[in-house]
Amino acid sequence: MSCVAARATCAASSTASTAKNGTQQTLETFPNRNAGRNYTVELSTDEFTCLCPATGQPDFAKITIRYVPGPRIVESKSLKLYYWSYRQQGMFHEHLTNKILDDLVAAVDPIWCEVTGAFGVRGGIGITVRAEHGKKPQA
């Protein structure tokens, strides 16, 4: 199956984030061709930005996703665009990290997934949030 066909097949199970400006970004997926094997996928960016809901100031974070795929795998370009949809949204760090996890779980149905948001220091306090879904398989 081509990548385009795979995206069309999985589009109904993809998850979207709606930005303040009304644009919606979908987490596109493709089939896991190695579904019988447990392996870990790690995706990270240190370019994530959103807004502080209290002050409207920009917040910066390193977001790391680690997951053991189930039937689907997230397509990285759609993940980048999904991240961008948060640039003008005000959301507390704890809620944001859990929202990313919820959207990713809905899109790819992983065996296990962990999302870590390591947010830059503001007011002398750094915040790191880890949210987890499922049970990580033993090596």
Q: Write the CATH number for 23.
A: 3.30.1130.10
The residue from 52, 102, 103, 109 that is catalytic is 52
pLDDT band at 25 (very low <50, low <70, confident <90, very high): confident
Are residues 82 and 26 in contact, defined by beta-carbon separation less than 8 angstroms?
Answer: yes
Write the CB contacts of 95 (distance below 8 Å, at least 6 apart in sequence): none
* 102 is annotated as an active-site residue: no
Are residues 50 and 89 in contact, defined by beta-carbon separation less than 8 angstroms?
Answer: yes
In a domain, 139, yes or no: no
* 113 is annotated as an active-site residue: no
Per-residue pLDDT of 44-61, as tens digits, reads 999 999 999 999 999 999
Are residues 69 and 1 in contact, defined by beta-carbon separation less than 8 angstroms?
Answer: no
The residue from 10, 50, 59, 103 that is catalytic is 59
Domain count for the chain: 1
Per-residue pLDDT of 83-102, as tens digits, reads 999 999 999 999 999 999 99
> Could you identify the residue written with the tokens 């959207």?
103
pLDDT band at 12 (very low <50, low <70, confident <90, very high): very low
CA distance 69 to 95: 23
pLDDT score of 122 = 86
pLDDT score of 23 = 56
- Residue 32: which domain range? 3-134
pLDDT band at 128 (very low <50, low <70, confident <90, very high): very high
Are residues 98 and 59 in contact, defined by beta-carbon separation less than 8 angstroms?
Answer: no
